Amino acid sequence: MGRIKTENNSSRKDVIIKKAAELFKEKGFKAASMRELAEVVGVEAASLYNHIRSKSELLHLICFNVANRYTLMMDEVEAEKTTSLQKVEKLLRFLIGGMVHNFEEVYVCDREWKYLTEPYLSNFQAQRRGYRKRFAAIIEDGIKKKEIKKIDSTTAVLIMLHAISGIESWHRSKQKINGKELEENMITILVGGLRK
């Protein structure tokens, strides 16, 4: 069949991960088989194992790649001297952007993380919990400073994160508005829903 084609300076492993994210998104982690993955990569199933350790390694690479990006952005935002609403807005814009431009990866991370194996599963859940707590803390701070309505911050975070994961439907839809417009609409509704 010939070698796996790489482009720019990405490794063969990177190519496999990318294709895996697409496949896992489309079929779901459990339903996607290594033989299917091999086919889209253009190689026999066994050959994949020259580059990766296991199917589940693919999943945890995808999931932590996303999770780490999110955590990093949270670090950055927390350090800024801006209002709570501005922080929320910046976090949301980052999340929306990720969903629009790195769709497959983010989608897989969101929906398939439960198939992670230990110890990755526990690490992932902890990181996720931490992220949400920090997000909720920003909102509570905003409530204290009377920028934000008096609401349950945990519920607010839950709504926002899941609203964003709904961009999945936007990707599927035929008559899409463009990405920037989508972002503005989401910010209007979500931030508008918080503002006092």
Partner DNA sequence: CTTTTGTACTAACATTTGTTAGCGTAAATT
Partner DNA sequence: AATTTACGCTAACAAATGTTAGTACAAAAG
Q: Where along the sequence are the contacts to DNA (CB under 7 A)? A: 1-4, 12, 32-36, 43-47, 49-51, 54-56
- The SS3 of residue 195 is strand
DSSP helix, strand, coil percent of the chain (3-state; round to 5):
75, 0, 25
Least CB distance from residue 86 to DNA, whole Å? 44
Q: Select the binding partner of residue 51 from a second copy, DNA, none (C-beta < 5 to 8 A, by kind).
A: DNA
Which residues, 124 to 153, sit near a second copy by CB under 8 A?
A: 149, 151-152
Instruction: Decide if 120 contacts 64 (C-beta within 8 A).
Output: yes
**Taking CB within 5 to 8 Å according to partner kind, which of DNA, a second copy, none is near residue 165?**
a second copy
Q: What token pair was written down for 187?
A: 């910010």
Neighbours of 14 (CB within 10 A): 16
* Beta pairing partners, 195: 148
Site string for a second copy, 3-42 (x = CB under 8 A): -------------------------x-xx-----------
Alpha carbon distances (Å) from 164 to 7, 35, 102, 161: 31, 32, 13, 5
Residue 33 contacts which entry, a second copy, DNA, none (Cβ below 5-8 A, type-dependent):
DNA
For a second copy, the binding residues (CB under 8 A) are 28, 30-31, 111, 114-115, 149, 151-152, 154-156, 158-170, 173, 177, 181-182, 185-186, 188-194
